Amino acid sequence: MAATLPLADHATRDDLRIFLERLQRAGQEEVRIVARGPVLAVYGCTQAPRGITDPVPVVLVMRAFGLAAEPADAEGRTTEVDETVPARALLDRIARLGITGLSLEVPDSTSMVAWAGVLPPVSGWDPMGAIDQSSLAAVASEGMERVSALLPEDPGEAVVLRVRASVWGAEIAPGLPAAAAFAAETMGFLRDEERVRVSRSLTWTRLTTSRGYVLVRSLPG
């Protein structure tokens, strides 16, 4: 039987719903949910390579949500949760909670997606400075305008992918593509920020705001 995630309160439930809804519009369908102790981390993907020859980096978004208690299985025993599931399945379960419900059941249906196989580390990050949120918002806005202008009226999938890769793959700082600014803006992470902190690990670059994280995995070579 599926595990249950006891969400901390109704504000947490609403924040999770909004995060998933935004991800449905800006990213891929699947999310990886990791719950250990009283914290639920939800990872989504706004950009990933379509094949081994695709030059775009992986761009993930993550938010942490509080739990009222540790996750439990059907018998009420404490358990850990680490699953990749359809975001729509989580949204359906949130809708079924009604006005007062907070016990979110983990979907039985799991997904297999390449980006979810490797997550960024929790620790070992080196600070690399900060970027004005207005600069990131401007990059996202200009990028969306360029994509719209470059796409023909009835583009095929190959044309769409090529145009998006050319716009969002451009680096705005070392190891940080324009796709990271797009992710931060479309997921609502820039709303209250003046400066967005940048940090790096061996193979990842991270943008940190009070509303969430954007994580970019470096391309090999």
Q: Domain holding 23: CATH number?
A: 3.10.150
- In whole angstroms, what is the distance from residue 118 CA to residue 131 CA? 26
Residues 83 and 176 in one domain: no
Same structural domain for residues 84 and 49?
A: yes
Per-residue DSSP letter, 53: T
36 and 107 assigned to the same domain: yes
With respect to residue 91, please indicate whether it lies within any of the assigned structural domains: yes
Residue 180 has pLDDT above 90, yes or no: yes
Residue 212 lies in a domain: no
Band the pLDDT of 1: cuts 50, 70, 90: low
pLDDT category, 218, cuts 50, 70, 90?
Answer: confident
Q: Give the Cα separation of 116 and 84 in Å (integer).
A: 7
Q: What's residue 196's pLDDT?
A: 95
Query: Considering the domain boundaries, does residue 160 fall inside one?
Result: yes
Rg (CA), the chain: 18
Residue 182 lies in a domain: yes
Q: Are residues 141 and 110 in the same domain?
A: no
Please name the residue that has the structure tokens 């994580």: 215
pLDDT at 70: 87
Domain that holds residue 11: 4-117
In a shared domain, residues 106 and 130: no
Q: Is the dihedral of CA 117, 122, 124, 127 positive or negative?
A: positive
Q: Do 105 and 28 have their domain in common?
A: yes
Both 96 and 142 in one domain: the answer is no
Same domain, residue pair 104 and 166: no
More confident residue, 192 or 151: 151
Cα 114 versus chain centre, distance: 14
27-61 per-position pLDDT tens digit: 899 999 999 889 999 999 999 887 776 778 899 99
List of E strands, the chain? 4-6, 30-36, 39-47, 58-66, 81-86, 103-105, 126-132, 171-173, 176-177, 195-200, 204-209, 212-217
